[in-house]
Amino acid sequence: EVQVVESGGDLVQPGGSLRLSCVGSGFTLSSYNMNWVRQAPGKGLEWVSYSRGSGSTMYFADSVKGRFTVSRDNAKNSLYLQMNRLRAEDTAVYYCGRNMMGPDDCIDVWGKGTTVTVSS
């Protein structure tokens, strides 16, 4: 079965750091472009970042640019989101999502999410 599983969410103080992990199974993660999408409590979906399969190209939402980075470990079929200088407004469920192969950038496989809470 094709799936992704996120982990690493936690309660962290403002200004702190956290690293989220996303492990793929049933497919080779390095062959796919990948996304992180978040959803604040009671709110809609907000795209956070995109990483090309090769790892050579990454895009970030303005709201996280300069604070968040993405990396991959192909040997572990994993994707990571390093979040630094966290703010209260980063509180959300973070989803890892596989970009669908094709002309459009949309997400065909979603994880169940991991919860990040930024609070003192």
Partner 1 sequence: DIQMTQSPSSVSASVGDNVTITCRASQGISSSLAWYQQKPGKAPKLLMYSASNLQGGVPSRFSGSGSGTEFTLTINSLQPEDFAFYFCQQGDTFPLTFGAGTKVEIK
Q: Summarize as ranges the residues that interact with partner 1 (CB under 8 A).
A: 35, 37, 44-47, 50, 59, 61-62, 95, 100, 102-108, 110-113
What's the Cα-to-Cα distance from 68 to each of 25, 80, 108, rounded to whole Å? 24, 10, 23
State the minimum distance, in angstroms, from the CB of residue 120 to partner 1: 27
Task: Name the residue nearer to partner 1 (CB basis): 66 or 102.
Answer: 102
Task: Name the residue nearer to partner 1 (CB basis): 73 or 108.
Answer: 108
Angle, CA 7 vertex, CA 63 and CA 10 arms, to 5°:
65
What distance in Å separates the CA atoms of residue 94 and residue 68, rounded to the nearest whole number? Answer: 13
What distance in Å separates the CA atoms of residue 106 and residue 87, rounded to the nearest whole number? Answer: 27
State the minimum distance, in angstroms, from the CB of residue 20 to partner 1: 15
State the minimum distance, in angstroms, from the CB of residue 97 to partner 1: 8
